[in-house]
Amino acid sequence: MEKTLPNNLKFFLTIVLIFLIGILLFLANNKASEYVILILNLMAINIIFSVSLTLINGITGIFSLGHAGFIAIGAYVSTLLTLSVSQKEMTFLIKPLIYPLNQIQLPFLPATLIAGLVAAGFGYIVAAPSLRLIGDYLAIATLGLGETIRIIANNAWSITNGALGLKAIPPYTNIYWSWGWAFVTVLVISSLVKSSYGRALKAIREDPIAAKAMGINVFSHQVVSFVLGSLFAGVGGALWAHLITTIDPKSFAFSKTFEILIMAVLGGLGSISGAIIGASIYTVGLEFLRVLESPFKIGFISFPGIPGMRMVVLSVLLIVLMLFWQRGIMGRKELSWDSVYALVAKRLKKRGGNDE
Amino acid sequence: MNEVLRINNVTKRFGGLVAVDRFDGYVKQGELLGLIGPNGAGKTTLFNVITGMYAPDEGNIVFLGKDISGHKPHEITRCGIARTFQNIRLFSDMTVLENVMVSQHLKLRNWLWFFKSIVKTPDSIRMEKQMREEGLRLLRRVGLESFANEKASSLPYGLQRKLEIARALATDPKMLLLDEPAAGMNPQETSELMEFIKQIRSDFHLTIMIIEHDMKVIMGICERIYVMDYGKLIAEGNPQQIQSNPVVIKAYLGEEVLL
């Protein structure tokens, strides 16, 4: 018999948890080093990326590999809106920036919102043709799409400043922006997944033909999921650009999509809480593995630091993880207060059993 | 009795193969109609044409006075035709209750509900609760309520078949198309299924069309039978007429048997 907690208590616990996270972030913002703050920001942005990819890939079952493209759109659009007019003149040396963009400067919030909406608009435009494909073909089409956006960014000198990229982006992203948006992303997407629409999306993942026969408009649901995922990818891209403060087309290569896919798969493709866990572990883990790249000594022998070593170790760790946890850490399950409670109850019961 | 479904001269071709060849037929209100024929006769293709999975190349299909040929599958389901599949197609990673609740998604007719269910407005919460209750009520009626929170794939085979029918019923259909519901069942399960089909017909005021190879099922519950061979309708009649029809025997067993 599964035990469930009353809804009021769950709501209360959630509020307390959010409050605690808020306090921790506030403390970190005031006390922690800049390095830790940077990692915390990256963690939040990676959560946005992996949760939005999970909606598309894990919940709806559209195997999309074009996430980096939408991140690029979000990053470029927001940057072009927040850079000051004089900075734009200084940056665009080879070809001047086209008209309306070279005259405007917006605050961070509207720039982020517009970035998200433009990414969503692109998502809508590309979803219609590419969602007519299925499986591997869809994956290749979206992969090509992501690369197309990168190559456009590389060549549209009068909009993106080509391969030189954009520099001196105002560092607007702080803990509150990044975690605030991460919170909104998780809230919106998990609220959607829990609703009837979420069930419909999962049904499409399980069996599109049966979903059609049950009265679900498979195509329009897939498009909506894709557009919503792109929207948050765009927002995340905007935050990322204003954290790193310099972007160029190379930052949005296929490896970016792959990185996010690793986070989502690590946490369990199809689980929102898994995506959060995956993104956190990946971000923090990568930093811990930095030790491997610095010179170290074992006994008499000293090893020089090998750059890139942490990626080798990370790959091995991922392979081992996938061998033992084939569906990621969470699988398709969600972490809920009920499951935490069940786990604790089981532990207590076990201990009680041992005492006898 | 009035007609629910009329199939007018429907033809469906796949390249050079004529899967359904000028099929003419009708289904009466409340009827239990059987559709039989040797393998590859075009029975499932006819189902796929009726449910909108394929558009007919010629002819049309009229359901309750409305021409539905060429409509999309989800539109036809919303008109009131639900179906099951020859090879079970459950949403296997979802629970039994969720499977049934998915079929009620068609109640949310416009995209305003999409925003409502993200923001969780009071009426979307009410709708969700209503779907859950209705899903549970349906599971109770078909006797699956004790499995409500089990994964669909964990059910035994016979119950998976039953769940597929329950899931189709959750779309609130006027007509139900069953594609080989007794395939792979043992005699005990088959006779339970026959009772079940008769039961749901009267409980839900359904018109049922059924494809089946198990003649015990067809002869036991159907009031009228269509026989197909090579895409064509070759015979029509009640079970007794069909059993003694030489054309049918020829289609199934070959010419020599009659000599």
DSSP A90-137: HH--SSPPPHHHHH----HHHHHHHHHHHHHHHHHHHHHHHTTS-HHH
Which pLDDT score is estimated for A1?
Answer: 41
Which of these ranges, A55-69, A319-333, A340-354, B90-104, has the smallest mean pLDDT? Answer: A340-354
Nearest to A196 among B90, B131, B171 (CB): B131
Decide if A47 contacts A212 (C-beta within 8 A): no
Whether the pLDDT of residue A213 is over 90: the answer is yes
Q: pLDDT: is A334 or B90 the higher one? A: B90
Q: Could you give phi then psi for residue B81, rounded to 5 degrees? A: -115, 120
Which pLDDT score is estimated for B110?
Answer: 85
Structure tokens at B88: 């079970």
**How many residue pairs bridge chain A and chain B with CB atoms within 8 Å of each other?**
102
Percent of chain A scoring above 90 in pLDDT: 55
Residue with tokens 């808020």: A22
Q: Which of A16-20, A266-270, B79-83, B184-188 has the highest mean pLDDT?
A: B79-83
Count of helices and strands (H, E) across chain B: 10, 10
Which of these ranges, A300-304, B115-119, B229-233, has the smallest mean pLDDT? Answer: A300-304
pLDDT (tens digit, 9 = 90+) per residue, B20-30? 999 999 999 99
DSSP letters for A286-301: HHHGGGGGS-EEETTE
Decide if A329 contacts A267 (C-beta within 8 A): yes
Whether the pLDDT of residue A2 is over 70: the answer is no
Contact B74 A200 (CB under 8 A): no
CA distance B233 to chain A (A): 25
> Which domains, ranges and CATH numbers included, belong to chain B?
3-258 (3.40.50.300)
Band (A355; pLDDT cuts 50, 70, 90)? very low
DSSP letters for A205-244: HH-HHHHHHTT--HHHHHHHHHHHHHHHHHHHHHHHHHHH
A212 touches chain B (CB under 8 A): yes
A199 touches chain B (CB under 8 A): yes
Which pLDDT score is estimated for A96?
Answer: 80
Angle at A99 between CA A95 and CA A103, to 5 degrees: 105
Decide if A155 contacts A161 (C-beta within 8 A): no
Return the sign of the alpha-carbon dihedral for residues A120, A123, A128, A131.
negative
Whether the pLDDT of residue A54 is over 90: the answer is yes
Element (H, E) at B98: helix B96-102
Which pLDDT score is estimated for A170?
Answer: 92
Helix (H, G, I), strand (E, B) or coil at B65: coil
Structure tokens at A60: 């709806």
pLDDT (tens digit, 9 = 90+) per residue, B143-156? 999 999 999 999 99
Which pLDDT score is estimated for A91?
Answer: 84
CA distance A286 to chain B (A): 33
Q: How many CA atoms lie within 13 A of A55 on its CB side?
A: 31
Q: What is the CATH number of domain A7-294+306-346?
A: 1.10.3470
Q: In chain A, what's the furthest Cα-to-Cα distance?
A: 80
Which of these ranges, A291-305, B158-172, B190-204, has the smallest mean pLDDT? Answer: A291-305
Whether the pLDDT of residue A315 is over 90: the answer is no
Average pLDDT of chain B is 92
Please state the rounded mean pLDDT for residues B99-104. Answer: 95
Band (A257; pLDDT cuts 50, 70, 90)? very high
Which pLDDT score is estimated for A209?
Answer: 94
Q: Which DSSP state fits B151?
A: B
Tell me which of B85, B92, B93, B96 to substitute to probe the interface with A (most A C-beta atoms closer than 10 Å).
B93
Whether the pLDDT of residue B256 is over 70: the answer is no
Q: Is A9 left (phi over 0), alpha (psi -120 to 50) or beta?
A: alpha
| Per-residue CA distances from B95 to A62, A210, B55 (Å) | 21, 15, 33
Contact A214 B102 (CB under 8 A): yes
Whether the pLDDT of residue A85 is over 70: the answer is yes
Contact A213 B82 (CB under 8 A): yes
Which pLDDT score is estimated for B171?
Answer: 94
Domain boundaries, chain A: 7-294+306-346
A215 touches chain B (CB under 8 A): yes
Cα radius of gyration (chain B) = 19
Strand partners, B25: B7
Return the sign of the alpha-carbon dihedral for residues B131, B135, B138, B140.
negative
Instruction: For residue B98, give the chain A residue with the closest CA.
Output: A199
B137 touches chain A (CB under 8 A): no
Please state the rounded mean pLDDT for residues A197-223. Answer: 95
Task: For residues A93 and A104, give the distance between their C-alpha atoms in angstroms, rounded to a whole number.
Answer: 18
Contact B85 A210 (CB under 8 A): yes
Band (B5; pLDDT cuts 50, 70, 90)? very high
Decide if A295 contacts A304 (C-beta within 8 A): yes
Q: Which residues of B touch A214 (CB under 8 A)?
A: 74, 77, 82, 102-103, 105-106, 167-168, 170-171
Contact B74 A215 (CB under 8 A): yes
Cβ-Cβ contacts under 8 Å for B103 (sequence gap 6 or more): A214, A215, B82, B167, B168, B169, B170, B171
End-to-end CA gap in chain A: 23
B255 touches chain A (CB under 8 A): no
Nearest to A332 among B93, B108, B131 (CB): B93
Q: pLDDT: is B12 or A295 the higher one? A: B12
pLDDT (tens digit, 9 = 90+) per residue, A227-238? 999 999 999 999
Tell me which of A184, A195, A232 to substitute to probe the interface with B (most B C-beta atoms closer than 10 Å).
A195
A200 touches chain B (CB under 8 A): yes
B127 touches chain A (CB under 8 A): yes
Which pLDDT score is estimated for A11?
Answer: 84
Band (B193; pLDDT cuts 50, 70, 90)? very high
Task: For residues B128 and A214, give the distance between their C-alpha atoms in angstroms, rounded to a whole number.
Answer: 17
A192 touches chain B (CB under 8 A): yes
Percent of chain A scoring above 70 in pLDDT: 97
Task: For residues A293 and A312, give the distance between their C-alpha atoms in angstroms, rounded to a whole number.
Answer: 11
Band (A356; pLDDT cuts 50, 70, 90)? very low
Instruction: For residue A189, give the chain B residue with the closest CA.
Output: B118
Looking at residue B6, its amino acid is R
Please state the rounded mean pLDDT for residues A307-320. Answer: 83
Whether the pLDDT of residue B94 is over 80: the answer is yes
Q: Is A162 left (phi over 0), alpha (psi -120 to 50) or beta?
A: left
Interface of A with B in 303-342 (CB under 8 A): 332
